[in-house]
Every structure is written in structure tokens, then in C-alpha cells.
Amino acid sequence: MRLDLDAKSFGTRPVLGPLTLSVARGERVAILGPSGIGKSTLLRILAGLDAEYRGRLDGADRLAVVFQEPVLLPWRDAVANIAIPTGCDAATARDWLAQVGLAGHEAKVPRQLSLGQQRRLALARAFAAGPDILLMDEPFASLDAETAARMLALTDALLARTGAGLVLVTHDPREAEALHARPLHLAGQPARLQND
């Protein structure tokens, strides 16, 4: 995928651009920068969730998005939470649950899972969609250090196994390092990508 962003504004306030970002399958980048700089805005543009900008997005790849809050179907069990949005069958959904360490939790609904388990369910759902590129917005925030480290290692392993590319939005350079993602820093007003 490739984004040539001339400008993104909210009302009259320019927030982002000009900038260019391209990511291919198997390639990993992390978008870093302080709170409010425009990281989530950039990710939403890449995901096709925000089309109100000047520029061009060439997004032919298959994408999956993981947000900080795992957006799950509250009344459906873990298997259905993967099978319904991705269209995969129940056996495939169970296999993905096992791959993220949720074997034995197949019949639970989200509120019966811890936050860390819900995050892993959202991660399994994202990979079950078979993405060329995974887009992640602060998916490791507000987890305890040990849970975050396990989830980082799991994400790294699944990216390697599937060959998917990664765009990670984070304020924490250590997460970028743990995922072997090339750090790209947003800075300025409006924000641009700095040379790394």
C-alpha cells in the first residue's frame, strides 16, 4: 500500500502532511510520536476509515485493523467473534484461538475474558482475515508489562509465520523494536514523517 498525503485537516486546522508512506507485504514500520501529533489519524486514513483528505491512497492490499480497544461482538462466543467478521469456518476460528493461546476459551463471550485475552481474540480475528498488511493502533497500551511482552512476542511470531506486513502506531519505541519495525517519527505542525 502507498499513501501520498498532501494534507489532512480538521476544520481549518491542518494536522498532517505532506508525507508519503509505503508498506509492502513482509515489511514492518512503526509510526511514533507524542500524543495528539496525528498517529491515529494517519492510521485511519491508511485503513480507509477516513477519506476526507487531499492526496492519494493506493491500497490494493488486504488489510486488517487492530485498535487499542478490542471491538468484539458482546453476545457471541470467541469462535463466532472470529468466524462472523472474517467468514472463516468454526474449525479455522478454533485453530486461530489455539494459536493465540485461547484454547479452552472457545465458548466464552468477551466479558468472560480478561482484557489481555480479549486483545488476543482481536489479534486472532485480524490474522484470520488473512491480511497482507496488519494495521495496529496502540494495541499493547494499558496491559501489564508481562502481558504486553507476551502479546508482542505473539504478534511478532504470527507476522513472521504469515508474512503479513505491519503498520504499528505507538508512542513507545520499545514496541517498535520488539516487533522489528522500522521507526518513522511524526513531528511538526502540521506533522510530517521525519527521516529516520
Q: Which residues bind ligand ATP (CB under 6 A)?
A: 10, 15, 33, 35-41, 171
Q: Could you tell me which residues come within 8 angstroms of residue 30 by beta carbon, excluding any fewer than 6 positions away?
A: 166, 167, 168, 169, 170, 173, 175, 176, 179, 181, 182, 183, 184
Cβ 34 to ligand ATP shortest distance, Å: 7
Cβ 32 to ligand ATP shortest distance, Å: 9
Nearer to ligand ATP, 71 or 98 (CB): 71
172: its cell numbers: 513507545
Nearer to ligand ATP, 41 or 117 (CB): 41
Cβ 21 to ligand ATP shortest distance, Å: 14
Nearer to ligand ATP, 10 or 196 (CB): 10
> How many C-beta neighbours within 10 Å does residue 194 have?
14
Helix (H, G, I), strand (E, B) or coil at 140: coil
Task: Identify whether 18 is preceded by a cis peptide bond (ω within 30 of 0).
Answer: yes
Cβ 141 to ligand ATP shortest distance, Å: 9
Nearer to ligand ATP, 93 or 169 (CB): 169
